[in-house]
Structure formats: C-alpha cells, structure tokens
C-alpha cells in the first residue's frame, strides 16, 4: 500500500484544458510581479505536490507557526517557510482579494496568485530560525537578508511547470508513485544528493536497499551554490554508476527540482517530507545532511528527528555514520562495523579530490568508481576546476 502524502492529500495546482486557456487570457489583464529562479522553483514545487499539503505561499500566522513550533498546524510537521517576497513598491498597488500574475525569471507567466495577505517579517529573525545563524557568509542567510520587505500569501493556480535539464527524469510525485506501484515496490528508500556518488554513498544506498524493495536515487536539481558540480556532469556520473554497479530492477533515477537551502537539520526534515510526497517510505540521512561550512554539528540532521513524535513525519529515516573503505577488512565500512584506527580508513577531502581531478589523476578505486572518475577528470580539466 502506498504511503499517504503529507497532510493526507497529494496537491496538484497545475491547470489544464479550458481552465488553462482561460487563465492565460486572464493573466494578460492582471497586475503582475516577476520572481527570481529560487521562487520559480518553489512555485513548481507547490504546483506538482512536492510541498503537499501547501496549495500556495504561506501567510503570517502559518509562517510564525513553522518558525516557532516546526509545524504548519498540530500534527503536520514543517520546518522551512515557503514564502513569496517582493519590494514595497511592487506590493503597494496589489489589493487583498485580487489576483496577481506571476512572471518567472525567463519572462513566462507561470502562475496566478490569489492574494490573501500582505505582511512583514524580520529578516534577521527569519534567517536565524531557519538556518540557526545570522552569518551572511551562509548562502541561505545571504539570500534571506536580500529579500524584499513585503511577503505575499495566497493559493496558486499554476500555468506552466519549470523546465530543467534532463526533463525525462523530472518525474512528479504522482509519476513516481505510479512507477513504484508498477514495479511492485512497497518499501522504497530515497537517497538525497547534490554531488556525484562516491563509494561511501554507494555503500549507504546498498545497505538501505537490503531492507527495501527499491532505491530512488533522487538528486536535487534546483538552485545550488555556484561552486557545486553542474547538473549535466552529475547526471553522467549517476547514469554511469547505475549502469555498472546497481541492479536495474531495484533502482530508479529521478530528479528533485527543489532549491538547495543549506539549512542543515531543518532541511533534513523538509527533504524527508518531500520524499514522502514522492511515495518513498524510507529516507537516508547521513552526516551533515544539507549542511554548508561549519554551521551544523556532524549529526545534527539526525538528532532533529527526536523533536517529533514517531508517527508525525510519516517516513522512516535511516541514520548512517560516516562511511569509508577499510584497509583492514578490505571493504566499505563505518565506525559501527569496522575495527582498527582511522589510519586504516581511505578518506579524501573534497579539496584533495578536486586537486587530483584537475591534474588528471584518478582517485583511488576505494574512493570512487573509475567510470565516475573519468567523467569528473574530463569536466575538471575542461573547466579548470
């Protein structure tokens, strides 16, 4: 039996047929605002049900509930507000109860907002409660502090989805749920990544697959940091790995078109909820999930699950410690399963790996598969990375 979407119903705010045509004509006559790529991805997430049970951008009371209690309302956990911010001069002519056309950064009319509220938030408080820091070196804090000072709330009617690279892998929650049912998968584990998968990650996914029917490799493909490896390169790595090292009957690759917020523990909860909406029953939470820099403790993203009742989130988190190749056991392992000291462990820093790739050196096979390394070496040398 399929897992119930968060809040009970899988949201779909995408218009079609006559309703879509009527909305396009209406939008041309409405007052309008333009949003950045970050907000455009959030609109897409609302439209397709990734953010179920949300049907639009949050209002003031709901936002404060999320910031202060980590719940939308009793029994429905939520940790990061989904907000639409504009500058005061854009908000001033917009009337409560009216409709507003939303243009994305590409110039397309993507949605109509049924404006129910205009409100203000303290940006510093918002950043502190979401990211647990006010340091503007944190990419999420920097983005938050630059937001407009008026927030617009209301339900959305969405006219157009956000196209991304490798669109054939950009399955909606309804489509992944249908695929799992067709494959006969009742227990499905999702793996979150925004990087190529190295041997330690491969090990974690295969450990999880031992207790599940299927594995969803689900890389994030929304906005990320400028120094993250490009999506096109990552996709080549994922497909090479799946083709050579995973059983095809038990693994599936799909994309998650969601912004990377780098909110650490609170984002781990959000990523779990989103995967629940995609139909997954289990979710891998490793070390420093969704972290950046040194803002979060190594396992804070696992400990935050203790703040919720066992059945509230509704998806089973699988907690893993840092994995590595053990010279002593000649296999992948973790501190839980491996005797010996750290000198027996093969671990390379990201900086060291990039240095090797740029120089055309193959990282050791204990760290990454050669097929993946070749793709990364080609990218690093062509781009001076």
CA distances from 150 to 122, 146, 278, 282 (A): 10, 12, 32, 38
Q: Annotated catalytic, 199?
A: no
Which residues of the chain form beta strands (DSSP E)? 32-34, 56-57, 71-73, 76-77, 84-86, 99-103, 109-119, 150-158, 188-193, 214-219, 251-253, 282-285, 316-319, 324-326, 331-333, 345-346
H helix and E strand count, the chain: 13, 16
Give the active site residue among 134, 186, 195, 354: 195
The single residue listed with the structure tokens 């070496």 is 377
Q: Which two tokens stand for residue 89?
A: 């001069």
Distances (CA, A) of 335 to 290, 322, 367: 22, 7, 17
The backbone torsions φ and ψ at residue 296, rounded to the nearest 5 degrees and listed phi first, read -130, 150
How buried is residue 226: exposed, middle or buried, by Cβ count under 10 Å (0-12/13-18/19+)? Answer: exposed
Q: Please report which residue ranges of 278-383 form alpha helices under DSSP H.
A: 300-303, 350-358, 370-383
The residue assigned the tokens 């083709």 is: 243
Task: Quote helix, strand, coil % in the chain, to nearest 5.
Answer: 40, 20, 45
Round to whole Å and give the CA distance between 46 and 257.
11
CB atoms within 10 A of CB 135: 12
Measured between alpha carbons, how far is 283 from 243 in angstroms, rounded to an integer?
23
Active-site option among 162, 177, 194, 199: 194
Q: Is 261 in the active site?
A: no
- Cα gap 111→231, rounded to integer Å: 26
Q: In the structure encoding, which two tokens stand for residue 296, read together?
A: 């979060």
Looking at the annotation, which residues are catalytic?
A: 194-195
């Amino acid at each position: 039996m399929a897992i119930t979407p968060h809040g009970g119903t899988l949201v779909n705010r995408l218009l079609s047929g006559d309703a879509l045509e009527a909305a396009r004509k209406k939008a041309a006559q409405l007052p309008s605002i333009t949003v950045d790529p970050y907000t455009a991805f959030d609109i897409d997430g609302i439209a397709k049900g990734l953010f179920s049970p949300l049907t639009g951008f949050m209002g003031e009371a709901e936002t404060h509930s999320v910031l202060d209690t980590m719940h939308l309302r009793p029994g429905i956990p939520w940790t990061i507000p989904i907000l639409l911010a504009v500058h005061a001069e854009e908000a001033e002519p917009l009337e409560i109860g009216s409709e507003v056309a939303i243009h994305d950064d590409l110039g397309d009319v993507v949605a109509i907002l049924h404006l129910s509220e205009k409100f203000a938030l303290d940006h510093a408080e918002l950043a502190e409660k979401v990211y647990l820091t006010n340091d503007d070196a944190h990419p999420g804090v920097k983005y938050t502090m630059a937001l407009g000072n008026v927030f617009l709330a209301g339900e959305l009617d969405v006219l157009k989805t956000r196209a991304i690279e490798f669109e054939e892998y950009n399955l909606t929650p309804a489509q992944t749920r249908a695929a799992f049912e067709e494959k006969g998968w009742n227990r499905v584990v999702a793996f979150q990544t925004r990087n190529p998968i190295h041997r330690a990650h491969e090990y974690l996914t295969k450990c999880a697959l031992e207790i599940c029917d299927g594995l969803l490799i689900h890389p994030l493909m929304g906005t990320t940091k400028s120094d993250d490896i490009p999506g096109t390169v990552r996709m080549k790595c994922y497909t090479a790995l799946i083709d050579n090292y995973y059983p095809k009957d038990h693994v599936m690759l799909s994309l998650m078109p969601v912004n990377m917020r780098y909110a650490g523990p609170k984002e781990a909860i959000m990523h779990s909820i989103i995967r629940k909406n995609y139909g997954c029953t289990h979710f891998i939470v490793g070390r420093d999930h969704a972290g950046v820099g040194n803002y979060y403790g190594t396992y804070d993203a696992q400990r935050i699950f203790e703040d919720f009742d066992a059945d509230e989130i509704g998806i089973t988190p699988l907690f893993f410690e840092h994995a590595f190749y053990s010279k002593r056991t000649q296999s992948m392992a973790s501190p839980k399963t491996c005797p010996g000291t750290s000198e027996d462990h093969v671990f390379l820093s990201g900086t060291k790996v990039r240095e090797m790739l740029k120089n055309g050196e193959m990282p050791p096979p204990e760290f990454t598969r050669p097929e993946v390394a070749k793709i990364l070496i080609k990218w690093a040398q062509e781009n001076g990375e």
